[in-house]
Amino acid sequence: MAEPDLSAAAVPPIDLADVQGNILRGYTKSMVRHLIAQVTDASAARAWIGATAGPDRSLAPAITDAAHWGENPPDVCFNVGLTFAGLQALGLPDSATRSFPEAFREGMAARASKIGDWGDSAPAHWKPWFQDGDAVHLVLTLHANTASLLDRHEQALMSGMAGKSLSIRGRNEGAKFNGDEVHFGYRDNISQPRFAGISPPGKVDHQPSAPLGTVLLGYPTALEQLTWSLPEPTVLGFNGAFNAFRVLEQNVAAFEEFLSRAAERLLDSHLADELLPVGSEQDRASRPQRLAAMREVVAAKLVGRWRTGTPLALSPRDPLPGETVSDTNYDFVDDAGGLKCPLGAHTRRVNPRGARIVQRMANHTRRLVRRGMPYGPRFDPTAPLSDAGVERGLLGNFICADLSAQFEAVQYDWINLGLQDPRITGSNDPLMGANEQDASWFDVATSKGTIRLRGLPRFIRTRGGAYTFLPSISALRWIGRLGGQ
Ligand code: HEM
């Protein structure tokens, strides 16, 4: 296939059949399995990778691309991400591997100090199959609605050429347990970048639509006059994307305990009536009812959305459950003081929208496509003892065109340093920052004053991950055609 000509003034319209699926539009499957694989035979592995994008299904299952499914969605979606160590293990020429950006070349573990992976979250404590980053070469991802479909597909996959050229080092499996609910009880997957002409029309979004260069290489980005340089040759880089795959363990018991502690404190403060939802103020409800209502207020303040999904920016005093309000059509421009949505709330930190921030250029330029799935059983607050030793969390994919300027900038500058607004600088994201109980703080502002909540522990621990490159379909074929090294 001829290499695309990017020198043309206008980049050609996107060929969705050349882009891997789950980047521009999310799958709606309820289960995921990530196979963490190591290359054992470079030439056979290259041939297999090429075959996943070729016509002969007896050689390898097909990679799911981004073309519309029409009436016939596949039972199983299959995608592949390659790490830098993987590109090297596959024997790609140095001229190609050297042309990838530094963050990707270094890999996730080496960037630990830039992304808050220290203490318990340090790579030395990751799951065994992630600990030797040099041996993590491919992340093969299967999405389906049943475990038996996943099993069958994995078997088919490994019984052919893949079985002879790759070894599976570990598996990370996730499954939805209540629609788009994630552990901690929030509805997730509401706000995503919308790509003009590609994202389903319908929902109104106050934010500018995202240019394709937000996630795909070779297209204009939201940064004026900036297009990320393509890894070489062009056929390898064009239509590819980068992914920060993260295994994030969530400590739900600690989170629920914090909600209770903070709710008690707020309830006893002079601002209680300013914060409680209408109808649960001091004189209208019993203490346990007010406490329960205040716990939800705290949960909402930490994230910037009620656990039902309703954004605080649209409904600061009422969780209003339901589809119509769990939308993303709002801005923070009229909430400069954080009276509706706290300045340090998770969603406001990671996407300040049009709010005044220190790095003006960054307002809409660090957007990430998020494709995640919970893992582990839902927490049962009535049986905390039987929960001992149970692990649960999020298998998160943070997809972007530049890991350093998008994922790492959000994860570090905004989540962990609070550099976007001097009023939160020095505090961490309350939900997922690298908090230390002694030093952490989170401000809840009302028109009658601000209360500083303290003592937030670290609720989320990194258990593994990898920076991967999600090559285009043409790039997979190109890899398949490479000669022996
Ligand atoms: C276990 C870890 C995490 C949990 C439980 C979590 C939870 C949530 C929830 C409940 C929302 C609101 C739903 C929505 O707007 O779609 C959200 C939004 C978001 N999160 Fe997280 N998150 C986690 C980790 C992260 C990380 C590591 C990042 C980035 C590095 C991130 C970036 C975002 C972004 C960009 C949004 C959308 C904000 C917007 O556009 O308004 N999250 N998250």
- pLDDT value for 282: 62
Per-residue pLDDT at 324 exceeds 70: no
Q: Which atom of ligand 1 is nearest to the CA of 407?
A: 30
Using most ligand atoms within 8 A of CB, pick from 366, 370, 398, 428 the residue to mutate for ligand 1.
370
Q: Which atom of ligand 1 is nearest to the CA of 305?
A: 12
Question: Residues 293, 276: contact at Cβ < 8 Å?
Answer: yes
Which residue's alpha carbon is nearest to atom 24 within ligand 1? 432
Query: What pLDDT digit, counting tens, does each position of 37-53 carry?
Result: 999 999 999 999 999 99
Closest to 361 (Cα-Cα) out of 174, 188, 180, 221: 221
Closest to 410 (Cα-Cα) out of 354, 351, 357: 351
Query: What pLDDT digit, counting tens, does each position of 451-477 carry?
Result: 999 999 999 999 999 999 999 999 999
Which residue's alpha carbon is nearest to atom 8 within ligand 1? 188
- pLDDT value for 388: 84
Q: Which atom of ligand 1 is nearest to the CA of 394?
A: 1
Q: Which atom of ligand 1 is nearest to the CA of 244?
A: 30
Using most ligand atoms within 8 A of CB, pick from 346, 402, 411 the residue to mutate for ligand 1.
346
Q: Identify the H or E element spanning 250.
A: strand 241-250
- pLDDT value for 323: 65
Residue 123, classed as helix, strand or coil, is helix
Using most ligand atoms within 8 A of CB, pick from 431, 461, 467 the residue to mutate for ligand 1.
431
- pLDDT value for 437: 96
Q: Which atom of ligand 1 is nearest to the CA of 248?
A: 1
Least confident of 83-87, 122-126, 207-211, 221-225: 221-225
Q: Identify the H or E element spanning 464.
A: strand 460-470
Alpha carbons within 13 angstroms on the beta-carbon side of residue 120 total 13
Query: What pLDDT digit, counting tens, does each position of 275-291 carry?
Result: 998 877 666 679 999 99
Per-residue pLDDT at 8 exceeds 50: no
Backbone angles phi, psi at 45, to 5 degrees: -65, -40
Per-residue pLDDT at 390 exceeds 60: yes
- pLDDT value for 484: 54
Which residue's alpha carbon is nearest to atom 19 within ligand 1? 347
Question: What percentage of residues in the chain have a pLDDT greater than 90?
Answer: 84
Question: Whole-angstrom Cα distance, residue 318 to residue 296?
Answer: 10
Per-residue pLDDT at 3 exceeds 60: no
- pLDDT value for 11: 59
- pLDDT value for 281: 67
**pLDDT band for position 206 (cuts 50, 70, 90):** confident
Q: What is the mean pLDDT of the chain?
A: 93
Per-residue pLDDT at 95 exceeds 50: yes
- pLDDT value for 235: 98
Question: Which residue's structure tokens are 């007896």?
Answer: 58
Q: Which atom of ligand 1 is nearest to the CA of 350?
A: 35
- pLDDT value for 368: 98
Which residue's alpha carbon is nearest to atom 22 within ligand 1? 432
- pLDDT value for 283: 65
- pLDDT value for 55: 96
Query: 323 vs 447, which has greater pLDDT?
Result: 447
Q: Rounded to an integer, what is the distance from CA 185 to the centroid of its chain?
A: 17
Query: What pLDDT digit, counting tens, does each position of 110-153 carry?
Result: 999 999 999 999 999 999 999 999 999 999 999 999 999 999 99
Closest to 186 (Cα-Cα) out of 88, 255, 113: 255
Q: Which residues line ligand 1 (CB under 6 A)?
A: 182, 184, 186, 188-191, 248, 250, 303, 305, 346-347, 350-351, 368, 370, 394, 396, 398, 407, 410-411, 431-432, 460
